[in-house]
Homo-oligomer: A and B are copies of this chain.
Amino acid sequence: MIPGHLDADLMSALLAVAQGKAPADTVVRGGRLVNVYSEEVVVADVIISHGRVARVGSADRSIQEGTQVIEAAGAYVLPGYMEPHCHPWSLYNPDSLARHVLPWGNTAFVGELLPLQLLLSVEEVLGVLESLQRGHPRWFWSVRIAGQSRQAILAAFPMDNLQRLLDAPGVVQLAETTSWPRILVGNQALLERMAMAKKRGLRVDGHGAGATAEKIASLAAAGFTADHESINLEEALERLRNGYHVMLRDSSLRPDLDGLLPLVQEARGLARLSVTSDGSGPAWLNDKGMIDGIVRKMVRAGVAIPRAVALASLNPATYLHLDEHLGGLAPGRCADLQVLRSFDGEPPEVVMVGGDVVARNGQLVNSWPAWEWQTWADQREPAVLSHAGKPEFYRPSGEPGQIVPVMQFTSAAITRAGEAVIGPDGWAENCVLAVLLSRDGKRWSKAWLGNFAPHLEGLATSYTTSCDYLVIGRDPQAMALAARRAFRGPGGIVVAEGGSVVAALDLEIKGVMSARPISEVLADWLCVDKAMRRAGYPFEELLFCLCFITCDFLPDLRLVADGLLAVKTDQILVPAEQL
């Protein structure tokens, strides 16, 4: 539901209610209104008509027969939260994500579209965006101008497709351009794509992870307007100084907020800060929430409530030119709000979107029809299964005693280039084998992984940032078994152990997203996670570790469809082979 502009009829209707000449549809009565504009908490009624706030104040004249009254005495009444930068396809899908977090006050989302842009035609993507507008959540979109992996940097993003996407309703910005080093060297194709967004007045989200202060400044000169990759105070300040809107991140992708909080507490450049989860695995989402969890953390840290809420509502809405519709409870704004007893961790008593109650006490009410993803996501199994399902495909070909490069994991996201010796059985010592089969079924490449999950027998996953298929393990039988199970449909994540499948998470939607509710996805995911812990996986969030194995903007070695890549030198150490 993208809010439309105020037309004369709506103005007229709101005026009548604002002046007490017509009754309200709904009144939220007597709550402690969190006013993000004046940075106050004041007792006030919220008078609602036609899905918008008509007035904030005393509702005496507005309550008549037919007016729904929601008692909020003693509770906070605050705007719904806006997530300005999320990847709504981390096992969950946009619809299941929104259903899960909407009852916690997260009412507006700016979703990024990488897998949809990679896997669907532009007509299909436009159809998906339109279909999501039929539900209660407010969906806005960030369009990618380039892929996240080497081979997909531009091929999958032709200019005319991008133009059509940029003109789609709800598109508010370009999504993070992870290939910012290419921008720094003046890649014309990327700059032209950025200029397309500038011409339309759209924002240009940056992704300066690991960029030096000088590079951050240069990217601003190229037109980046926001960044969510500050991992410490100095990085956040540097971005602020260079004119960025700075999104402070906290989630299982990276829990960075603790270190960034002083910026909020010191009240510097406050209006140009907002908060984001970026990406969260289903476990973090379930345990800690989305933007709601970040606001609770800020309030616990002593940030004044109106200020903490503004970073999650008014500030992103203003940045995205949506502040006449969203981000605060003032006349004319959409009645997207929460009635929240405290910031201690319980869900809002009431969540409204556009004046409709959509959740109570953590549960959706008046839910919207199921999302019809089946129309564009067929259930065919991937072409690579014929290879990936056979144990002999994983027979190592190394010469005993040979020194081979190893992707040595130092964290869930970072690898260093290491080396290992091929043992008498043809396998690199202390390593597991990773085989990547390209989405198009034409090529495969392989790498040895160190410090990943040394005892892993077999894992197969279709959830990678490049949308390629990945099989990992040290037992060809188990690898083939996992692949057969994972890729018997569009995809999934499967672990095989002791001759059996011990954990399986189906990703019915293009092998990237599950169609099921997050609670069910979570149960399966926890089995995968548990199996991987048994296999020795030592880091935090496994989900992004798996996803990022193909992510060639992260250091040091990555496995991409072209082969084993040394990221900094952009050299292929072990080339891919034809399937």
Binding site for B on A (CB under 8 A): 5-8, 11-12, 14-19, 35, 37-40, 42, 52-57, 183-184, 186, 188, 191-192, 194-195, 198-199, 201, 214, 217-218, 220-223, 225, 237, 240-244, 267-272, 318, 321, 324, 328, 330-333
Contact = CB atoms under 8 A, between A and B. Distances in A.
Contacts of A217: 18, 55-57, 331
Contacts of A15: 183-184, 186, 218, 221-222
A331 B243 contact: yes
A183 B8 CA distance: 11
Nearest to A190: B8
Contacts of A221: 11, 14-15, 17-18, 52-55, 331-332
A37 B269 contact: yes
Contact of A218 (B6, B7, B19, B240): B19
Contact of A272 (B12, B37, B241): B37
Contacts of A330: 220, 241-243
Contact of A191 (B11, B56, B270): B11
A332 B220 contact: yes
10 contacts: A11-B194, A15-B218, A15-B221, A19-B184, A19-B218, A38-B237, A38-B269, A243-B333, A271-B271, A271-B272
Contacts of A220: 330-332
A20 to B, nearest CB: 9
A5 B52 CA distance: 33
A271 B39 CA distance: 11
Given A18-B222, A55-B218, 19 more contacts: A5-B195, A8-B188, A8-B191, A8-B195, A11-B195, A11-B222, A19-B184, A19-B218, A37-B241, A37-B242, A37-B243, A54-B221, A56-B241, A201-B321, A220-B330, A221-B331, A243-B331, A270-B270, A318-B318
B16 A186 contact: yes
Contacts of A54: 221
Nearest to A198: B5
A55 B216 CA distance: 10
A166 to B, nearest CB: 13
Listed residue (A52, A192, A243, A244) with the most chain B CB atoms within 10 angstroms of its CB: A243
Given A55-B218, A198-B7, A243 B328 contact: yes
A351 B6 CA distance: 40
A193 to B, nearest CB: 9
Nearest to A183: B15
**In the complex, which of the residues A214, A271, A328 has the most CB atoms of chain B within 10 Å of its own CB atom?**
A271
Of A7, A19, A42, A217, most buried by chain B (CB within 10 Å of CB) is A217
A271 B270 contact: yes
A293 B53 CA distance: 38
A237 B40 CA distance: 10
Contacts of A195: 5-8, 11
For A183, A244, A272, the residue with the greatest tally of chain B CB atoms inside 10 Å of its CB is A272
A55 B18 CA distance: 48
Contacts of A222: 6, 11, 14-15, 18, 332
Contacts of A214: 19, 57
